Structure 1
Amino acid sequence: MKNDLVVKGNILVNASYNLEVTEQRLILLSIIRARETGQGITSDSKLEIHASDYANCFNVTKEAAYSALKNAVHNLFERKFSFKDNHIDTDKDIVVKSRWVSRIAYIDDLAVLEVTFAPDVVPLITKLEKHFTSYQLKQVAQLTSKYAIRLYEVLMAWKSTGKTPILEIADFRSQLGLEVNEYQKMINFKNRVLEPAIQQINDLTDIAVQYEQFKSGRSISGFQFRFKQKNELIQVNNNLDNALYSASKMTDPQRHMFAHKLSELPEMSKYSHGTESYSQFAVRIAEMLRDPIQFKELYPYLKKVGYQASTQKDIMNG
């Protein structure tokens, strides 16, 4: 394909839907094809996706590409999504439910999928002048978790700031396409959805992401994500090297002082065992700071409470 830039209106990025990986990939290819026309599309436009496009973009076999296109004729046609929109007459938010496509067909002899987007989708993918999110298709091409693809899109809506607002747990689950009864326990949600998605994003895309969790009482009420382009992390890693060097020079009183400060940070709650007191938590943090790997993980929080890494030159000069 000539251009692999995916562009979606933010309404669509924030929509609630559950698409499998192959279905998300076909939607992304269709969006790119729609924008390649240069003149926009209508709800009658037929967009052609070739099996070779799918195979080349996502590095799969031709057989896998043929299967993806064939299965889409039934599966993708049945998929729906919902989004919030503004009602012109009342100026109030309304929830709209729509199909992704109004027509879909597979031409077996040509190994081509014909896609016609539903009327509500068309304005959310073409001729967007504001309130849109864009990213290169190659950044999600290797992702095999449907949640990782969705999370990456959500993050890209905030790429100008490098952090999201606090995403309320119910809204965030809806964005990821989870049903109410799916992974209801937080430990299951983290182990099966959130952590694998973050791992894939960190391993396979152009950004590195971490998150903080926020609580209402004893329950997690939301998450906030911070991320950086990986080429921006070179200087950060150099600073961390200095920090790790200086960590070996940290005295016991210093470790316990910073551990006490860290124990009171809300974002450190994910390291808490839940039943321990602040003082017990601080003692355990102090032990964590002895370990170089855990020190590196806690370094961003240390900076928040006033820790400054000494340079190697400073240390050697006393």
Structure 2
Amino acid sequence: MEQDRQLVVKSNHIIEASYRLSVAEQRVILSAITQVRRDQQKVTDEVLYSITAAELAELCGTDPKTAYRDLQNAAERLQTRRVTLHLEPDGVTIRSKRRRVTCWVQTVDYIDQEGRIELRFGKDILPYLTGLQREFTRYALSDVAKMTSAHGIRLYELLVQWPEGHRVVPLDDLRRWLQLEDRYPSIKDFKRWVLDPAVEQINEHSPLTVTWSQRKTGRKVTHLVFDYAPKKPPVAVGKAPARAAAKRKGSKYSDEDIARMALPGESWEAARARLNQLPLELA
């Protein structure tokens, strides 16, 4: 499996949608999303996307038998999982926002002898996975594949949606996105059971290093502040020729440096412009 080439691409409407999926369910959905052909003008909801237990085991580093059990259970539950999309008004004179409640998948086929399922995305979900020209988030499936926290995967998506490396998130919005409005009402419990495990998983398994702090309005915690950056790779030997060539082209960094240091979701041009403002010693 060519894991590095498996890209998850979602509309930001889905990134900030309200839903709750288990880790196994998210792995199935994300694996199917990587197969969506976005280079085609129109992708219908008749297309079947195939996920095997062997592929999930390889991707996530789990036992194949466990992966097959998780695949079966996740596929069963996905039939009932819903997602609430928060849409912008359709017209200038319409001030009320629209909420759309829909299902992730419409059908799941089981091929037991092959340890494989095939699923069709719901008709209302598919437009948020295809034909995306703006306001979308992209990252490698391998960035989150080994996470064991469902909240960690969601938080990672919310961070890479903003490649600037800094995001302030209203606590009420985060609760709504994770469908935790009525759970962990104490900020102490929310940190213990949601936030701290999610950040720990991101720091352990993703390409990012994350720190966070909180802001209060009066005595109440109302916002969470996240600062994040790519993990610093080991210093490599033999970079001088590549950097010398880059310098001759009028750039501080070689193409290899830029590819290595780009933030998840950051375009090539934006990464080059940002890195050219940094001292060379930070590479």
Q: TM-score, normalised by structure 1?
A: 0.68
Which has the larger displacement, 67-76 or 214-223? 67-76
How far off is 1:212 after superposition? 2.1
How many pairs align?
Answer: 231
Q: Which residue of 2 aligns with 1:23?
A: 25
Give the Cα separation in 1 of the matches to 2:89 and 2:107.
Answer: 26
Give the Cα separation in 2 of the matches to 1:40 and 1:19.
Answer: 27
Q: TM-score, normalised by structure 2?
A: 0.76
1:77 aligns with 2:79: yes
Give the Cα separation in 2 of the matches to 1:223 and 1:50.
Answer: 38
Give the Cα separation in 2 of the matches to 1:42 and 1:196.
Answer: 38
How far off is 1:43 after superposition? 1.5
Alignment of 1:66-105 (within 5 A): 66-88=68-90, 91-92=94-95, 93-105=97-109
Secondary structure of the residue aligned to 1:35 is: coil
Give the Cα separation in 2 of the matches to 1:133 and 1:74.
Answer: 28
Q: Which residue of 2 aligns with 1:146?
A: 150
* Structure with a larger share of its residues in helix: 1
Give the Cα separation in 1 of the matches to 2:7 and 2:185.
Answer: 35
Quick one: which amino acid aligns to residue 60 of structure 2? F
Change (3 A) 1:230 1:40: farther
1:204 aligns with 2:208: no
Which ranges of structure 2 fall in alignment gaps of 5 or more residues?
Answer: 236-283
Change (3 A) 1:96 1:36: closer
Structure showing greater Rg: 1
Alignment of 1:85-164 (within 5 A): 85-88=87-90, 91-92=94-95, 93-159=97-163, 161-164=164-167
How far off is 1:36 after superposition? 7.7
Quick one: which amino acid aligns to residue 156 of structure 1? V
Which ranges of structure 1 fall in alignment gaps of 5 or more residues?
Answer: 235-318
Change (3 A) 1:181 1:87: closer
Quick one: which amino acid aligns to residue 209 of structure 2? A
How far off is 1:8 after superposition? 0.6
Q: Which residue of 1 aligns with 2:215?
A: 214
Secondary structure of the residue aligned to 1:171 is: helix
How far off is 1:126 after superposition? 1.7
Identical aligned residues as a percent: 34
Assess if the C-alpha contact under 8 Å between 1:19 and 1:177 holds in 2. no
How far off is 1:172 after superposition? 0.7
Change (3 A) 1:65 1:40: farther
Quick one: which amino acid aligns to residue 116 of structure 1? R
Change (3 A) 1:163 1:233: farther
Q: Which residue of 1 aligns with 2:241?
A: none
Give the Cα separation in 2 of the matches to 1:74 and 1:232.
Answer: 40
How far off is 1:148 after superposition? 0.4
Assess if the C-alpha contact under 8 Å between 2:50 and 2:119 holds in 1. yes
Q: Which residue of 2 aligns with 1:183?
A: 184
Give the Cα separation in 2 of the matches to 1:148 and 1:76.
Answer: 19
Quick one: which amino acid aligns to residue 53 of structure 1? E
Give the Cα separation in 1 of the matches to 2:42 and 2:27.
Answer: 20
